[in-house]
Amino acid sequence: MANVRAHKVDAAQPSNGSRAPTAARLRKENAILQEAENQFAVLGFEGASLEGIATAAGISRHNLLYYFPSKEVLYRRVLDDVVFGWLAGMEDVWREQNDPVKALRAYIRGKLRSSFERPNAAKIFAKEVIAGAPRYADVIAARVKPVLAQEVRTFEKWAKKGLVARVDFTHLMFVIWTVTQAYAEHQTQFAILLDKPALDESDFERAQEVITRLVLSGLGQKVD
């Protein structure tokens, strides 16, 4: 996910759109985005404040507004970072077009890795969607829907070749998204139930094995 963030920030333009951003600007934007991600994950859009984010980032509110002119602009930028990272990971499914087992193992591993390394990303997105996506429905429709359609077409090709059993592939993707992101959204509950202070990498490895086994079995694949 860190590489996705760097790519996203590199693509950012200064407010006047006339120059490429400097290294110093990119560092400052990254610091602001990190604090914004932390606070939006905990407090949501309404609860988080520009003052609180600015203070955590070690700058003034006025300085923050130089980089992001409103809280909504900053919030959408954070969500862009989250969603575009996930979409980049979805490419694993269709890149291995002749090997669904390898593709799905890589995809599930990547989604769980994201939940482990960057849990606040899933929490922000979940809060937005639970609220009815009032500030991000347009991006979900414009950017996520076409990628999902592409993934479903790949599954259909696999099914026609006899590589996977035919199920409702759209809902299969919904299930994979939900269960992998749950390890970020509900990590506190899972840790409590496991009598642990927090989930660790071994928990995610075990989750990966279970989820992968269930998905592949549902697609008619033999799992060792």
Tens-place pLDDT, residues 17-76:
557 778 888 889 999 999 999 999 999 999 999 999 999 999 999 999 999 999 999 999
For residues 113 and 40, give the distance between their C-alpha atoms in angstroms, rounded to a whole number: 21
Contact 113, 180 (CB under 8 A): no
Decide if 223 is inside a domain.
no
Is the same domain home to 10 and 79? no
Helices assigned H by DSSP within the chain: 2-10, 23-47, 50-57, 61-67, 71-95, 100-117, 119-130, 137-139, 145-160, 169-185, 187-193, 201-218
Is the same domain home to 139 and 99? yes
pLDDT band, residue 9 (cuts 50/70/90): very low
- Mean pLDDT value of segment 187-216: 97
pTM of the model: 0.84
Is the same domain home to 183 and 124? yes
For residues 223 and 217, give the distance between their C-alpha atoms in angstroms, rounded to a whole number: 7
Q: Which of 71, 96, 128 is the last residue of a domain?
A: 71
Decide if 97 is inside a domain.
yes
State the pLDDT at residue 93.
64
The SS3 assignment for 168 reads coil
State the pLDDT at residue 6.
37
Decide if 174 is inside a domain.
yes
Is the same domain home to 102 and 201? yes
Q: Which of 40, 55, 71 is the last residue of a domain?
A: 71
CATH number reported for the structural domain that contains residue 85 in this entry: 1.10.357.10
Q: Which of 30, 56, 71 is the last residue of a domain?
A: 71
Is the same domain home to 15 and 81? no
Is the same domain home to 98 and 199? yes
Distances (CA, A) of 131 to 44, 45, 46, 150: 10, 10, 11, 27
Q: For 139-162, how does the pLDDT look when each residue is reduced to its tens digit (9 = 90+)?
A: 999 999 999 999 999 999 999 999
Is the same domain home to 60 and 90? no
Decide if 224 is inside a domain.
no
Lowest mean per-residue pLDDT among 73-82, 85-94, 164-173: 85-94
Is the same domain home to 64 and 78? no
Is the same domain home to 99 and 145? yes
Is the same domain home to 55 and 100? no
Contacts of 79 (CB under 8 A, 6+ apart): 124, 125, 128, 135, 136, 139
User: Domain limits at 194?
Assistant: 74-218
Is the same domain home to 61 and 106? no
Tally of domains in the chain? 2
Higher pLDDT, 190 or 16: 190
Is the same domain home to 66 and 86? no
- Mean pLDDT value of segment 171-181: 96
